[in-house]
Chains A and B, each alone.
Chain A
Amino acid sequence: MLSRAEVSARLSRFPKFDDTYLSLPYAPHMPGHMVRQTKEVIAIARKFNEEVARPRALELDRKTHEDPGYMPWELAELANKWGFYTMWIPKMFGGKGYNMPSMSYFSEEVGSVCLGIMNVIGVHYLGVSGVIASANLTLSRRIMNDVVQGEKTGKPCLIALATTEPGAGTDVEETDLVDKGKVTCHARKVKGGYIVNGTKVFISMGHVSTWTVLYAYSDLKRPSETSVGLMVKTGTKGFSFGTHENKMGQRVCPASVLVFEDCFVPDDQVLFDEARVRKFTKKPFREISQRYIDYVVSATRAGVGAFGVGAARGAFEAALNYASTTEVGGRLLINNEWVQCQLAEMYKNVALGRLAYVEANYANSHRGLYRLLQLKPFYYYLLFMPQAYFDNVVAPFLEKESSQKLMGRLYYEWAREPDQHCCSGWGSLAKVAGTDIGIKNCQMALELMGQTGLRQDAGVEKLLRDAKLVQIYEGTNQLNRLNLFKCLIAPAVPQARVFEE
């Protein structure tokens, strides 16, 4: 009925087909094995919940109130033993290479029991994404190898990521804001490396991590054009920890203060800086920095959306259990219409939040950070080749300058802005959708459960405390709404300006 050109013209109008319907075109391209693997991941998460998370969540929360100095060493060791810290590291870097999108389902499952425990596992992948998205293959291999060794030796090697500063939280999430902000973490180029001075705050798992991806600036007056990504090892001279925060929830997962005083970081621990980036792209460095941030947050915000969905589901399950076992006026609550509608509403919220992160996963898988890994031939190649092949044959190849350049070009020089916008916008959408319904369902469960809901030993009040954090970290939901606007709406409105009011 319509010519191809007519169809294409109409579908490229706002809202563009490509940015709106993600699963429709991409689901058929998904390697079939991903479904089986994701089922396995969900089952592993449920087993972990039964054996580790559920028996400990409330007791540990209580313990952190009794002892605010609590650190989750034992939990990290357990997660390490279960193989979670290498599970989603690609095989070419020595990990188990589970498909990245499966992690969001895992996050929902474990998050439905305890968001704090989930973050003890999950925030490591904020670090992993921060390393891998740099396209610095040598350093990625080195750091990931430490993580793999940590699993073998039973001494967890975790990666934290530090961007937030006392005076700059929202500002460091956006290159458009950072130049107007008050960043203070300075990286001065010296012979053989950088010397860093400054403080980072709210760094999840800082105290417990071995490596930190540190975001600093070589010129504090022009941070957007001079950002530097560094890998700093805990114990390095000049790098120390301050306190960790006394939080409302997610208390098993510390948020640390990191202090850098004349801390020397050698050149071979520079993840990216302008000099490195120049090897593979001539694009303005500011643009590259934003793309790097977008690669990371497009993936991790979808993950935080799944955390929120987890909280929503935990609340739903608690309410369902309560309604199924509690009588009012001689009738089980669950046999009241209003309760059935409330439970249906909560179930619906969970489902919609999940759909949002699934769509974001499709964006990342086909147009973002995971796009190489999710190409069918490459996916099966990674799946079926033995690890020794990667260690002995692929590794030396990855270290080559030409491979690094190719990777850099692929991810930065040749990457398309519309793809970046789609992934980043959907990351924000999933984050806001999932985390808002997290609070919504916790509130509904609490109201339905009356005084039982107030008790820490009933679990829901903890979910409510935990859930508030996910509306804040990985950029506040306000920042994420603005990013959604910037990425998915503003491109269709030439006169729209973001962060310039």
Chain B
Amino acid sequence: MLTSFKSDLKPFDELARSFAAKELTKKVEEHDRYPFGEFFTTVVDKMFDVGFLGVVLPEELGGIGGSISALCVILENICRADSSAGGIIFTNALSQEIMRAAKAEALARKVFPKASSASEFLVAFPSYIDPAHAGALPDAMKTGRGYTLTGSLELLVLGGLASRAVIPARIRDGSTYSFFLVDLAEEGIVKSDPVFTLGLHACPAVDVTMKGVKARLIGEPDKGGLYFKEVSSKMHVAAAAMNAGIMKGSLGEALAYSKERFQGGREIINWSEVSMLLAGMAIKADVADMCVAQACLAMEQGENHWGSHCIAAALHIHELACEAVTDGVQVLGGNGYMKDYGQEKRYRDARQVQALLGAAPLKKIDLVRGLAGLAAAGSPG
């Protein structure tokens, strides 16, 4: 839908669609076997080559300088096929956006333009938390011109693949935190094996512990919460676009199956209860599409409260998605439960995507507190 509002997004749409068809669709199940199968390194390299790992990054920093809308269009198409690839694009964009919000251009210049491979270009991020809600964050200690980090962090997404990570840490006790850029090859970092999670298997995360690890401050100290807030509203729409794509994939597979599968002497789509299931999915997928488009427009036009529109859209879309993908399995009956079809993966992935940027109930409370002009729930007092 976004592309019909904004025709300049069409090339992104076409590029992502053809990339998905060529590189992802046929090997979804194989790629999803990770960490028990091979990682799809060559696909990630190709994502780097076509620029998907730097969609929102300015051109002068080695990105393609696209808007969040462009990112959404790409994510939606990619996630329709394989949301793990979408998770990688999302996480890298999230790291880049944090650096951008912090106006850490000098730091970004040291990372991105010089990267000659995907692994150099990737920057890991703990994508499933809002650091403000995280109980414990690593501690940051000022040492000379820089800082050192000590502590642990769960589910650092891309931590096993990327050369660097953006890490939230606390310089002092209290609720404020700061972001740091860490070279993941530094001494003092211990990474776990890839954590086996519900979904997005090929967008792996690791647990890390750090002991006196050298780190560079991103932006200003104690401003992490501010940067995250600025970035999070936009990135919520990107996460929503991922689930909008997953829903479309689920609907597509369910529709196709229901036209082929016979039960009771007819294609199952001709049983009205199956039609009802499909209708429910179609309505949800359509509404999601419209919400993503509207949220993007509101953001780009800088409407009042565009941030909360974006978060509201995302929360709503994630809920719709989790329901739709459950029905998506159901339409295929026993086959829907099997890895030979795409539905079981979408059932898992939609929930994993829902968890991006923090737990949904906490976001809801923050949303309403924001509307009422109150401090976020995680804040002291």
Chain A residues within 8 Å of B, Cβ to Cβ: 62, 65-66, 164, 167-171, 177, 180-182, 201-202, 245-249, 255, 326-330, 338-339, 342, 439, 443, 446-457, 461, 464-465, 468-469, 471-473, 476-478, 481-482, 499, 501
Contact = CB atoms under 8 A, between A and B. Distances in A.
A448 B361 contact: yes
B196 A478 contact: no
Given A201-B334, A446-B351, A478-B274, A455 B197 contact: yes
A333 B335 CA distance: 39
B128 interface: yes
Given A447-B361, A456-B196, A171 B352 contact: no
Nearest to B37: A65
A326 B155 CA distance: 17
B355 A451 contact: yes
Contact of B129 (A169, A451, A453): A451
Contact of A464 (B126, B351, B355): B351
B264 A450 contact: no
Given A181-B263, A449-B359, A453-B198, 11 more contacts: A66-B36, A168-B263, A180-B265, A246-B339, A329-B133, A447-B354, A456-B195, A456-B196, A468-B326, A478-B277, A481-B273
A501 B264 CA distance: 11
Given A246-B339, A246-B340, A181 B264 contact: yes
Interface string B354-381: 1100111110010000000000011110
Contacts of A499: 264
A451 B155 contact: yes
Q: Which 4 pairs between the two chains have the least Cβ-Cβ distance?
A: A450-B359, A180-B265, A451-B128, A461-B198
B66 to A, nearest CB: 28
Contacts of B340: 246
Contact of A454 (B344, B347, B355): B355
B256 interface: no
Contacts of B361: 338-339, 342, 447-448
A390 B330 CA distance: 46
Contact of B262 (A182, A246, A329): A182
Nearest to A250: B337
Nearest to B338: A245
B334 A169 contact: yes
Contacts of B352: 454
Nearest to A255: B334
Nearest to A456: B196
B129 A450 contact: yes
A201 B338 CA distance: 12
B230 interface: no
Contact of B365 (A327, A338, A443, A455): A338
B23 interface: no
Contacts of A501: 271-272
A450 B263 contact: no
Given A447-B359, A451-B128, A327 B135 contact: yes
B347 A468 contact: yes
A338 B365 CA distance: 9
A456 B192 CA distance: 14
B175 to A, nearest CB: 8
B195 A328 contact: no
B322 interface: yes
Contacts of B322: 443
A247 B277 contact: no
A201 B334 CA distance: 10
A472 B333 contact: yes
A180 B264 contact: yes
B249 interface: no
Nearest to A180: B265
B137 interface: no
B197 A456 contact: yes
Contact of A170 (B263, B359, B377): B263
B198 A465 contact: yes
B138 interface: no
A181 B195 CA distance: 45
A333 B195 CA distance: 25
B262 A167 contact: yes
Contact of A328 (B198, B264, B336, B377): B377
22 contacts: A65-B196, A170-B263, A181-B262, A182-B262, A247-B337, A248-B337, A328-B133, A328-B135, A329-B379, A338-B361, A342-B361, A451-B128, A451-B129, A451-B154, A453-B198, A454-B355, A455-B197, A456-B195, A464-B198, A471-B330, A477-B330, A482-B273
Contacts of A451: 126, 128-129, 154-155, 355, 359
A172 to B, nearest CB: 10
A169 B336 CA distance: 13
A320 B219 CA distance: 39
A168 B253 CA distance: 20
B334 A326 contact: no
B329 interface: yes
A448 B337 contact: no
Contacts of B339: 246-248
Given A169-B334, A181-B264, A328-B362, A457 B196 contact: yes
Nearest to B276: A478
B302 to A, nearest CB: 30
A455 B330 contact: no
B329 A468 contact: yes
Contacts of B128: 450-451, 454
Nearest to B343: A248
Contacts of A62: 196
A26 B197 CA distance: 46
Contacts of B265: 180-181
B211 interface: no
A207 to B, nearest CB: 16
A323 to B, nearest CB: 11
A439 B198 contact: no
Nearest to A448: B361
Contacts of A453: 198, 355
